[in-house]
């Protein structure tokens, strides 16, 4: 074959498909993982196994290592705040006190989805050096944000409040506690006001204490429901 001596303008170099975490739609369709029609983040724990560097390559080997436990209860605790409404009058403050509960919906949903992808080993076989982040965990979070997060929308919240008599221990006034034991249909409250961020990244729940704060504090817990768009 005669040589042309014309230098090529580009080269084709094979790269890992996992370097791109964004699923691209084509005329013939695109691959997408199967996701649940609805999600309820309540009291469940999710257990999974991985190598110390986050990779999942051999289940039989990784089960000999310590398991990783995702606690939805701890995650929700870490991603919400509850504060007194500072605009309320003193009389209301000591009686049917108004509280503002702010929840980081995005962080909770991302963490929940991440734990499920790990549990079902969706990225099994993907090594750190096969991702643009050189970290499979960061790559998975990028995948969730790019392809799954926008497939869900906030549906509702279940808020539970269980009152405890202070028995004249005023030092415990307003000392409310996050507890799973508060979950009971008899403790569920429906009189709440919600303020959802336009991008659904967070939500404010405003509610009034049904028993006077001078005599009662409360334990509380909430479940979050999402649905597929």
pLDDT digits (tens, 9 = 90+) for 100-154: 999 999 999 999 999 999 999 999 999 999 999 999 999 999 999 999 999 999 9
**Confidence class for position 5, pLDDT limits 50, 70, 90:** low
Quick check: is 138 in a domain? yes
Look at 85 and 14; give whichever has higher pLDDT: 85
Q: Which residues are paired to 204 by β-bridges?
A: 102, 195
26, pLDDT greater than 70: no
- For the chain, how big is the Rg over CA atoms in Å? 24
- Going by C-alpha positions, the residue among 196, 175, 189 that lies closest to residue 223 is 189
**Confidence class for position 172, pLDDT limits 50, 70, 90:** confident
The C-alpha atoms of residue 4 and residue 50 are separated, in whole angstroms, by 52
Quick check: is 21 in a domain? no
Quick check: is 105 in a domain? yes
Lowest mean pLDDT among 48-52, 165-169, 186-190: 165-169
Which domain range does residue 58 map to? Answer: 36-228
Task: Count up the domains in the chain and report the number.
Answer: 1
Quick check: is 96 in a domain? yes
1, pLDDT greater than 60: no
Quick check: is 10 in a domain? no
Q: How many residues does the chain have?
A: 229
Whether the CB-CB separation of 207 and 146 falls below 8 Å is answered with no
> What tokens were used for 189?
């409250």
pTM for the model: 0.88
Question: What is the secondary structure of the chain as a DSSP string?
Answer: -----PPPS-------GGG--SPPP-TT--------SEEEESS-EEEE---TTS----HHHHTTSPPEEEEHHHHHHHTEEEEE-TTS-HHHHHSS-EEEEEEEHHHHHHHHHHHHHHHTTTTTT--GGGSTTS-HHHHHHHHIIIIIGGGEEEEEEEEEEEEEE-TT-GGGTT--EE-GGG--GGGEE--EEEEE-TTSSEEEEEEE-SS-TTTEEEEEEEEEEEEE-
Quick check: is 28 in a domain? no
Q: Over the chain, what is the mean pLDDT?
A: 91
Quick check: is 18 in a domain? no
Of the chain, the percentage scoring pLDDT greater than 90 comes to: 80
């Amino acid at each position: 074959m005669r040589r042309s001596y014309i230098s090529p303008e580009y080269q084709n170099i094979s790269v890992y498909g996992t370097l791109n975490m964004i699923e691209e739609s084509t005329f013939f369709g695109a691959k997408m993982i199967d996701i649940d029609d609805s999600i309820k983040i309540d009291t469940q724990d999710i257990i999974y196994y991985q190598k110390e560097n986050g990779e999942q390559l051999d289940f039989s080997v990784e089960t000999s290592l310590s398991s990783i436990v995702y606690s939805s209860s701890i995650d929700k605790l870490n991603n919400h705040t509850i504060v007194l409404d500072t605009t309320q009058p003193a009389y209301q403050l000591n009686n049917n006190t108004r509280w503002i509960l702010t929840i980081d919906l995005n962080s909770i949903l991302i963490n929940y989805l991440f734990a499920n992808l790990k549990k079902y080993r969706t990225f099994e076989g993907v090594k750190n050096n096969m991702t643009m982040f050189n970290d499979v965990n960061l790559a998975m979070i990028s995948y969730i944000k790019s392809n799954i997060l926008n497939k869900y929308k906030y549906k509702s919240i279940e808020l539970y409040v269980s009152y405890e008599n202070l028995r004249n221990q005023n030092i415990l006034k307003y000392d409310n506690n996050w507890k799973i034991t508060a979950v009971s249909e008899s403790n569920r409250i429906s009189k709440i006001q919600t303020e959802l961020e336009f991008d659904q990244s967070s939500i404010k729940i405003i509610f009034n204490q049904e028993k006077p704060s001078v005599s009662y504090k409360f334990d509380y817990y909430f479940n979050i429901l999402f649905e597929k768009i």
